[in-house]
């Protein structure tokens, strides 16, 4: 009868509303779980929690997900020099050319902190060696800034400064080789050899100044 038909239609509408509400809640829960997983991945990357990073990636967490400053797990791992985590992120599709809010790629951060092996892996993964940040700086410019800081840091011993400068030289050699500048890379190798022979802070500082002059020449003639 008519009343039974109305009751049936009413029941169907109620079931449809429940189904829509369930889909809405399920979708929101999935999105929330994704956000939590992506945040866990970034924290695990910066704190070098290798097993957790592996587990999160294997469960499908997006390695390219960024925080409010557009920083990804790869940015954090590159800044800290966590090479094993960087390898895992790249293997799971992390984008080595992704930029943060100020224009830095993971390579910029690795160069700035002198993590040579990290730079090598990022370059091999297809990082654009000629990329600029929002201030127009290349990794070469960032390395120059680091050398200038080392030169005026009077608190460091000659051995400490020497080791850090040699790290910068090694890093720049990799960068120049990948930029198609083998002759310039060899020139830096000569600086490194000479630097090893020095003992006093003054000798090291003189070499740093010579190195800065050479890098300025490279910057001006960069192709």
**pLDDT tens-digit map of 90-128:** 999 999 999 999 989 999 888 777 787 898 899 889 888
Query: What is the pTM (predicted TM-score) of this model?
Result: 0.66
What CATH topology corresponds to 139-220? Answer: 1.20.120
pLDDT for 95 equals 97
Instruction: Give me the percent of the chain exceeding a pLDDT of 70.
Output: 86
- CATH number attached to the domain at 2-124: 1.25.40.20
pLDDT digits (tens, 9 = 90+) for 150-187: 888 878 888 888 888 888 888 788 888 888 888 888 88
- 208 Cβ contact partners less than 8 Å away, ≥ 6 residues apart: 147, 150, 151, 161, 165
pLDDT for 15 equals 80
pLDDT digits (tens, 9 = 90+) for 66-90: 999 999 999 999 999 999 999 999 9
Is the separation of the CB atoms in 116 and 167 below 8 Å?
A: yes
**Per-domain boundaries in the chain:** 2-124, 139-220
Cα torsion at 170, 144, 218, 103 (round to 10°)? 100
pLDDT for 223 equals 46
Predicted confidence band at 1 (pLDDT cuts at 50, 70, 90)? low
């Amino acid at each position: 009868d008519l009343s039974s038909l109305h009751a049936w239609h009413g029941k169907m509408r109620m079931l449809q509303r429940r189904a829509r509400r369930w889909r809405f809640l399920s979708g929101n829960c999935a999105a929330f779980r994704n956000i939590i997983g992506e945040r866990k991945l970034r924290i695990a990357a910066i704190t070098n929690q290798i097993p957790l990073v592996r587990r999160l990636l294997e469960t499908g967490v997006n390695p390219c997900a960024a925080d409010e400053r557009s920083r990804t797990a790869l940015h954090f791992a590159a800044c800290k020099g966590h090479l094993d985590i960087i390898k895992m992120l790249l293997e799971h599709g992390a984008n080595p050319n992704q930029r943060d809010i100020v224009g830095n790629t993971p390579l910029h951060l690795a160069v700035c902190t002198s993590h040579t092996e990290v730079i090598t892996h990022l370059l091999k993964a297809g990082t654009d060696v000629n990329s600029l940040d929002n201030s127009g700086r290349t990794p070469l410019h960032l390395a120059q800034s680091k050398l200038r800081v080392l030169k005026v840091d009077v608190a460091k011993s000659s051995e400490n400064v020497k080791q850090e400068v040699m790290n910068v030289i090694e890093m720049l050699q990799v960068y120049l080789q990948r930029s198609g500048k083998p002759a310039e890379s060899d020139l830096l190798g000569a600086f490194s050899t000479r630097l090893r022979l020095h003992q006093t802070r003054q000798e090291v500082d003189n070499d740093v100044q010579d190195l800065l002059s050479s890098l300025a020449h490279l910057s001006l003639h960069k192709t």
